Amino acid sequence: MSADGTGQPPSTEAIFRAAADGDESARCVLDRAFDYLAAAIVGFLHTFDPELLILGGNIAAAGPQLLDPIREDVARRTRILLGREIPIVFRNGWLWRRCGCRGPSLLAARCVENLSGPVRMQRAGLRTQSHANSEPE
């Protein structure tokens, strides 16, 4: 894998294609990147302990032959501390590219909607209108 005719490094898509076609240098680049990605995912899973992890965007377009090693590495690294495997789902498409901001913001909005009354709002660390101008205790 080398720079294209303009001297620019290859794009992510070109690296994925080359690795799928058997290019050893592209495979080496992806192996290293996936190792770092797996380490980051493991840190996230150990911190938040979710039931499921959904990854989208360009990485999800890589295909199972390239993504299965990430699943295996993450499972190996989390199995002992978490006592179970966390399913990792890769989704690609226009909807999933837009979920990065919308999903968390919708979840936050639902949490606020489910809170009722100033006591619950205060427990959640939110200020109500009646307490917005008061001094902290």
Residues of the chain with pLDDT under 50: 117, 119, 121, 128-134, 136-137
Mind listing the pLDDT tens digit for each residue in 40-66? 999 999 999 988 888 877 777 777 766
Alpha carbons within 13 angstroms on the beta-carbon side of residue 9 total: 5
Helix (H, G, I), strand (E, B) or coil at 7: coil
Query: pTM of this prediction?
Result: 0.61
Name 85's Cβ contacts closer than 8 Å, sequence gap at least 6. Answer: 75, 78, 79
Domain boundaries of the chain, sorted by first residue: 1-97, 98-131
Query: What is the CATH code of the structural domain delimited by 1-97?
Result: 3.30.420.40
